[in-house]
Structure 1
Amino acid sequence: MAHTIRDKDKLIARVRRIKGQIEGIERALLAEVPCGEVLRQVASVRGAMNGLTTELVDDHLREHVLGAATDADRQQGSEELMGIIRTYLK
């Protein structure tokens, strides 16, 4: 996956921010923060995860479907992406 290697630092930074947000939710729960605030933090994490997912799906589509070297590679990239989308939408 050349695209994840190429963008590795940017992707790792996003994952670390999400990790920090999740740790913030844990701290809020331990501190018995009001549920409205915790729910806002959860919504923020969900948005961050959706953003990361969108970026990875976009990269996969460009690299393994649109930029595939052969029709067989394109077919494989498409099938892999469809499987991932099915899992994501469950």
Structure 2
Amino acid sequence: MSHTIANKEKLLLRVKKIKGQLSSLEKALEDEKECFKILQQISAARGAIHSLMSEVLDGHIKEHLGNHVSEDDREKEILNLASLLKTYLR
């Protein structure tokens, strides 16, 4: 079973919290809140997304790069992961 399926409810709860943070950010912008408050909202949302990425990435590495994976599959997964990380870190 895929790690995202096994942790589906937990991951969906995190996504819902991120949606709430983004809605709060949108409201702060609409209400013309002070820039420091807006920066705090952006920072919180970014941190939450980063944390979600870290959790899914950890499960992905364990599932797709573990000792149980064939050498050919591992090489493909490493290339895929390197490509993903390049786009994520831009």
Unaligned runs of 5+ in 2: none
Secondary structure of the residue aligned to 2:32 is: coil
Secondary structure of the residue aligned to 1:33 is: coil
TM-align CA RMSD: 1.3
Give the equivalent residue in structure 2 for 1:50. 50
Moved more, 75-84 or 16-25: 75-84
Give the equivalent residue in structure 1 for 2:32. 32
Sort the Cα spacing of 1:6 and 1:67 in 2 relative to 1 into closer, same or farther, 3 A. farther
Give the number of the structure with larger relative contact order, counting CA–CA contacts within 8 Å between residues 6 or more apart.
Answer: 2
1:1-42 deviations in Å (ceiling 9; x for gaps): 711111111111101100110000001111111111010010
Distance 1:36 1:50 in 2: 21
Distance 1:82 1:68 in 2: 20
CA shift at 1:68, angstroms? 4.2
Unaligned runs of 5+ in 1: none
TM-score (norm 2): 0.93
Runs of 4+ in 1 over 2 A off after TM superposition: none
Give the equivalent residue in structure 1 for 2:73. 73
TM-score (norm 1): 0.93
| Greater fraction helix | 1
Sort the Cα spacing of 1:4 and 1:44 in 2 relative to 1 into closer, same or farther, 3 A. same
Distance 1:61 1:67 in 2: 11
Contact 1:65 1:74 (8 Å CA) reproduced: yes
Identity of aligned residues (%): 39
